[in-house]
Amino acid sequence: MTATKELTQVEFKEYETYLALKPYIGHCLILNHELNNPLTGIIGYSEFLIDDESVPDNLRSSLKQILKSAERMKKLIDYLCVEKIELETKLDLSTVIDDFQKVAKDLD
């Protein structure tokens, strides 16, 4: 009986973790999309202006810094979202939910 009780406590903690992470992971995907859209424009226009021979060298230097910062931000956003998605896949959530539902039925 004690082993079963301990197991259900572990399952309950995993289920709580799942519930806590699920909205965050969804928001992360939306945030990724919303932040990458303007960054794509910043990166594209920066590259376009850097390649424009009529742009003065001092301005081209500033554009290169803008491009470098935008690319860094894009990589950071992508990395954070990939980490959150991988965290969700590392948890065997379907088993946790099934086990939790079985335990909940047994308690009724």
Give tens-digit pLDDT for 47-96: 999 999 999 999 999 999 999 999 999 888 887 777 666 655 665 556 65
Q: What is the pTM of this model?
A: 0.56
Is 50 exceeded by the pLDDT of residue 1? no
Round to whole Å and give the CA distance between 68 and 28.
23
- Report the chain's C-alpha Rg in angstroms: 23
**Each residue of 20-33: pLDDT tens digit?**
767 666 677 777 78
**Domain count within the chain:** 1
Pick 108 or 78 by higher pLDDT: 78
Domain hosting 6: range is: 2-107
Residue in the structure block whose two tokens are 């301990």: 6
